[in-house]
Amino acid sequence: TILDFEVMGEAIDQGVNKYDVMYYTAPRREVEELGKLFSLAGWPLTGVTITPFAFQNIFRTKWIPDYDGTAASLFIGNDFSRIDIYSRGNLIMTRGIKAGMSSVFELLVDSINDKTAQSTDGLNRDRCDKNRAREIIFSLSPDSPSLTPEDRYGLSEQEIWDMVLPALERLIRQVERTFEYFTETLGNKRVDKIYVSGVMNIYQPVVDYVG
């Protein structure tokens, strides 16, 4: 195992002067295998990092200029999500969430199939599956090909959002609880900015709900 650490600076904990230290470990074998893979491809690495530290580098190098507050990065993956919180450019908290876009797709599949089974419009529509649900959700992004109303089972964009909102709300509640723990329990300044990323680029509604 590789161990590294960084002294972040002085801190006061219940009236006692201490030092904030960030430490991290990584499986040595995984790091070495990743280095060998890139070397074989002709791109030898000078270092390896993970996403939370990559965002930290962005803050520290002022790629996001003139910002000194407390920010969060919300990554929404397929089967999990992650919240990283940064203060003055330093990563000070990270938390994994067992919820992602898969639960959104599954909820849309169930909702569409229930609606289709009860439909009396006389159209013989195929049952929705997870791949079709993914296409429908992707079509809500302006960067993705749009679908015809029939391809979306006759649903408007608002109806689709209404169907998947419960899954998004569960994720948002986890974000809110993390922020509450960060400020009320740990006594930190509130998060005043959030960056959202993930497997697809349709997160403006999520940001609106969080905001």
Angle between helices 130-138 and 101-117 (to 10 degrees): 110
On the CB side of 59, how many CA atoms lie within 13 Å of its CA?
24
Q: Is the pLDDT of residue 68 over 70?
A: yes
Beta bridge partners of 91: 86
In the prediction, which pLDDT does 86 show? Answer: 92
Q: Is the pLDDT of residue 202 over 50?
A: no
Q: Is the pLDDT of residue 113 over 60?
A: yes
**Per-residue tokens: 190:** 């509130």
Listing DSSP states for 168-199 in one string gives HHHHHHHHHHHHHIIIIIT-PPPP-EEEEEES
Backbone angles phi, psi at 58, to 5 degrees: -65, -45
Q: Which of 21-30, 33-42, 105-114, 132-141 has the lowest mean pLDDT?
A: 132-141
In the prediction, which pLDDT does 123 show? Answer: 55
Place 201 in a pLDDT band, splitting at 50, 70 and 90.
very low
Backbone angles phi, psi at 164, to 5 degrees: -95, -5
Q: Which residue has the tokens 């990554």?
A: 75
Query: Closest by alpha carbon to 109, among 135, 138, 132?
Result: 132
Provide mean pLDDT across the span 63-80.
84
pLDDT in tens, 125-183: 678 888 888 888 888 777 777 787 778 888 888 888 888 888 888 888 999 999 999 99
Place 119 in a pLDDT band, splitting at 50, 70 and 90.
low
Beta bridge partners of 19: 10
